Amino acid sequence: MFVALMCHAPIVVPAVGGARSALCGATTRAMHEVALRAVAHVPDRVVLLSPHSPRQRRQFSAWSGRHVGDLSEFQAPHVRVDLPDAPEVAESLGLGPVEGRRLDHGAMVPLSFLWDAGWRGPTSILALPWDEIDSESVGRGLAALPGHTVVIASGDMSHRLQPGAPAGFHPNAHRFDDAFVEALRRDDWTAAVGAEARALAAEDVVQSTRVAMVAAEKPLWSEVLNYEAPFGVGYTEAILRDPSPPLYAVARYVATRYLHGFPLAERLGGPPSQGVFVTLHRRGELRGCIGHVEARHGSLWDEVAAVTLAAIRDPRFPPVSAPELPEIEWEVSLLDPPERIVGTRDLDPRRYGVIVSLGSRRGLLLPGLEGIDDPHQQVALARRKAGIAPRGAVNLERFTVTKVAQP
């Protein structure tokens, strides 16, 4: 089961936000990442919990039939979804139908990102009750569904963060957002849904998130992808549970927990290991790159963790600090076993990386590096990196990589 939190502000959809999209670009990017990771799990169904669907007083309900909607009320009629229902969800939970005809933006905004990520499969959209009841039973029911389920909690944070905000301004409303996000970062879910100042925040995130947390059961590779509040409303995107995270997310997770002083499991597990390089960029500039040609750990996630902790302390740069993390872009390269070659005629810098060695000295360059198009240039740089003279016989090896980069 994959479980995540997505915001539902229409302005974060570029077709709606227009020129203002630049002010919430980090949110839009995080929404894309959640959607891509959800769809990558090839789920049997997506279940979305929307706080804006028509509510009943004391029970959850579910939209039925095909889920067809658009954002025409926000001047973007071409942002449209058309998804089949997942009727087994309502049947399993014993839910009645939603009394509504048009999908609300609480459903449409997250679904539009899932649609853009390629999702066309069975989808269940649940409406929350006005009274906060049955979160436990509905969450447990979602966890018990057969097969693979993606659960998305739709919700926005405080609506009162600055003068002119949708629900008016309150000087202490930010306390809810601060407490909620910090608790998510600590994996303290009880503190998140019980965050202080909720009553004055005018939020609509707690109820849907509580159900999603019950479905997830406990944090698994959980992380806050982004929080910002450019228009007086707080937007948070977070992963609550991901049983098979992409490798860039493993690197980011390890670095984030280490730099914030949060505990990290001694063994992370994952598939069998292989050679790994972790590359960091900040504002388009290299910020660190460290790796192992051969695996040194039994599992891939432990390999990535060890390399990540070295990469954030790459001796060529100052150590990465926690405040830099939101600007870091992560890339993990998986190295296939290297093969010996005779000379530069066997190289193509766009396809192959190169290892140049002489005695104990060894220099490596990954393939596909910007500005390196000539094999002679590639070998010369690898020589320089290893501290090997520009002329003379050396041992040459080439290798291919699979790159897993942050979207």
Q: What is the pLDDT of residues 23-54, one digit of tens each?
A: 999 999 999 999 999 999 999 999 999 999 99
Please identify which residue in the block is written with the tokens 């990589």: 401
d(C-alpha 136, C-alpha 256), whole Å: 30
pLDDT digits (tens, 9 = 90+) for 354-368: 999 999 999 999 999
Q: Does domain 248-335 match CATH 3.30.700.20?
A: yes
Nearest to 365 by CA among 345, 348, 347, 385: 385
- End-to-end alpha-carbon separation of the chain, Å? 22
How confident is the prediction for the chain on average, in pLDDT?
95
pTM, entire model: 0.94
Per-residue model confidence (pLDDT) at position 18? 94
Per-residue model confidence (pLDDT) at position 133? 84
d(C-alpha 303, C-alpha 315), whole Å: 19
**Residue-range domain boundaries for the chain:** 2-244, 248-335, 339-405
Per-residue model confidence (pLDDT) at position 170? 96
> Identical fold at 2-244 and 339-405?
no
- Mention the CATH class of domain 2-244: alpha beta
pLDDT digits (tens, 9 = 90+) for 309-348: 999 999 999 999 999 999 999 999 999 999 999 999 999 9
pLDDT band at 22 (very low <50, low <70, confident <90, very high): very high
Query: In this structure, are residues 334 and 358 in contact, taking their beta carbons and an 8 Å threshold?
Result: no
Beta bridge partners of residue 356, listed in sequence order? 363, 396
Nearest to 10 by CA among 100, 82, 113, 86: 113
* Mean pLDDT to the nearest integer, 260-275: 92
Per-residue model confidence (pLDDT) at position 99? 82
CATH topology of domain 339-405: Dna Ligase; domain 1 (3.30.1490)
pLDDT band at 266 (very low <50, low <70, confident <90, very high): confident
Tokens of 70: 């658009």
Per-residue model confidence (pLDDT) at position 132? 85
Please determine, for residue 221, whether its predicted confidence score (pLDDT) is greater than 90: yes
Give the Cβ contact number of residue 10 at 10 Å.
Answer: 18
pLDDT band at 110 (very low <50, low <70, confident <90, very high): very high
Per-residue model confidence (pLDDT) at position 89? 98
